[in-house]
Copies of this chain bind each other. A is one copy, B any other.
């Protein structure tokens, strides 16, 4: 029998509980603050937009949270996902390291996003909600939520940033295939949308505007709630299924991870992947966890750790997190999923406590690594995922220098079938390595109101 390439788990090995890192944190997570009062947000404050079960998960101190059977039933359409040994990439790099990648591209939407979309749709359904409203940029989250709502017979309204709606019609098609209503935002369906259109009828939209429209839609309709695809604690809880499976698969392979790498936009993919390893690390295991971001949106590597709004408009609760300032607008890099000004509060706390480290890369070396990966392992990575691959490759090259036989595990968050235009740009030599000037970043950070003290 030749060397194995994929470590597969049977359906009966699918984890039955999610992992919640909150009870294992080195210090408690500071509360969200109400944007009007500066007081900690209460569960009641959140009820107009989220169902109680998700609000309870948001603040839960339970280490293990039961996954409902109905959610497992949908997960099983593609989970457990495979862990691959990247033997051909290892050979190319001539590294003594062993490289693995956890493949979330096998989901219906092609990324890790359905891991939380499915339970969010389920808990809303159980709470009597009949429709979810959300925003989406390029469409990864919108398509995942569309798939999940359809699975539970919920309506789904997606406010898609207008310029993406027009220029990237493919994920819109996926949302429609799964039965969602998709509107180019700003729309005339909401006050926030109409206000923008009154000022500028040709507005290309932004994620900030689309969030406002989706939240307003939820608040104004009693049967409708809102769903968010990253950043919040309950989202990170759901994504822990990725890391829990990875742990089992590494055990099966007789491995112990030395380095975990993943890309960070809002942080849910990376947190879901590495949080189940945090207790080991806190108990003295010398595992390293590396969060990778683009230099054009360097939240961890150049941002400040302070209270800031989750959205551009400044309407959401304030969260203690790494942030570039909610007014920070990163350039239009191809890894659209990594263009968020903040990072998940739980992940931010662990970076601040130096449990997790962070690193930033410009686009070109990222795409170089993506092509090397596609040529050896076959799968074309999403531009976001390619950031993780770059870091994994660099860790493996370091091992080549030192001779260390490390076990490196990459979070392969999604495929690039709908991002091929970005590869075109790279192959054509038209990709710009944008690095944000520090002064601009300092300016945006200085603009954050010092309001909660």
| Residues of A bordering B, CB below 8 Å | 1-2, 4-6, 8, 10-12, 69, 72-73, 76-78, 84, 88, 106-108, 110, 147, 150-151, 169-170, 173-174, 176-179, 371, 374-375, 377-380, 415, 417-418, 420-421, 423-424, 427
Contact A169 B6 (CB under 8 A): no
By beta carbon, the residue of chain B nearest A143 is B380
- Which residues of chain B are within 8 angstroms of A174 by Cβ–Cβ distance? 380, 420
By beta carbon, the residue of chain B nearest A380 is B177
Contact A177 B10 (CB under 8 A): no
Q: Within the complex, which residue of B73, B84, B169, B427 is in contact with A173, where a contact is CB–CB below 8 Å?
A: B427
Q: Within the complex, which residue of B69, B173, B378, B380 is in contact with A421, where a contact is CB–CB below 8 Å?
A: B173
Contact A427 B177 (CB under 8 A): yes
Q: Within the complex, which residue of B107, B177, B377 is in contact with A77, where a contact is CB–CB below 8 Å?
A: B377
- Which residues of chain B are within 8 angstroms of A378 by Cβ–Cβ distance? 77-78, 107-108, 147, 151
- Which residues of chain B are within 8 angstroms of A177 by Cβ–Cβ distance? 371, 374-375, 380, 420, 423, 427
Contact A375 B420 (CB under 8 A): no
- Which residues of chain B are within 8 angstroms of A108 by Cβ–Cβ distance? 374, 378-380
Q: How far is the CA of A427 from the CA of B1 in the complex (A)?
A: 48
Q: How far is the CA of A147 from the CA of B177 in the complex (A)?
A: 29
Contact A420 B377 (CB under 8 A): no
16 chain-A/chain-B pairs, Cβ below 8 angstroms: A1-B11, A1-B12, A5-B11, A6-B76, A8-B10, A77-B378, A78-B378, A108-B374, A110-B417, A147-B378, A169-B424, A176-B427, A177-B374, A177-B375, A415-B417, A417-B418
By beta carbon, the residue of chain B nearest A418 is B417
Contact A77 B5 (CB under 8 A): yes
- Which residues of chain B are within 8 angstroms of A110 by Cβ–Cβ distance? 417
Q: How far is the CA of A178 from the CA of B418 in the complex (A)?
A: 16
- Which residues of chain B are within 8 angstroms of A415 by Cβ–Cβ distance? 417
- Which residues of chain B are within 8 angstroms of A5 by Cβ–Cβ distance? 11, 76-77
- Which residues of chain B are within 8 angstroms of A84 by Cβ–Cβ distance? 77
Contact A150 B421 (CB under 8 A): no
Q: What distance in Å separates the Cβ of A446 from its nearest Cβ neighbour in chain B?
A: 42
Q: How far is the CA of A99 from the CA of B225 in the complex (A)?
A: 35
- Which residues of chain B are within 8 angstroms of A169 by Cβ–Cβ distance? 420-421, 424
- Which residues of chain B are within 8 angstroms of A427 by Cβ–Cβ distance? 173, 176-177
Question: 18 extra interchain contacts, Cβ-Cβ under 8 A, other than A108-B374, A170-B420?
Answer: A4-B11, A5-B11, A6-B11, A8-B8, A108-B378, A147-B378, A170-B417, A173-B421, A173-B424, A174-B380, A176-B423, A177-B374, A177-B380, A177-B423, A179-B375, A415-B417, A417-B417, A417-B418
Q: How far is the CA of A106 from the CA of B178 in the complex (A)?
A: 20
Task: With a 10 A CB-CB cut-off, give which of A72, A84, A380, A427 has the most chain B CB atoms.
Answer: A380
Contact B374 A2 (CB under 8 A): no
Contact B380 A76 (CB under 8 A): no
Task: With a 10 A CB-CB cut-off, give which of A12, A76, A423 has the most chain B CB atoms.
Answer: A76
Using known A-B contacts A110-B417, A378-B108, determine if residue A72 contacts B170 with beta carbons closer than 8 Å.
no
By beta carbon, the residue of chain B nearest A417 is B417
Q: How far is the CA of A399 from the CA of B12 in the complex (A)?
A: 30
- Which residues of chain B are within 8 angstroms of A6 by Cβ–Cβ distance? 11, 76
Q: What distance in Å separates the Cβ of A71 from its nearest Cβ neighbour in chain B?
A: 12
Q: Within the complex, which residue of B11, B173, B374, B418 is in contact with A423, where a contact is CB–CB below 8 Å?
A: B173
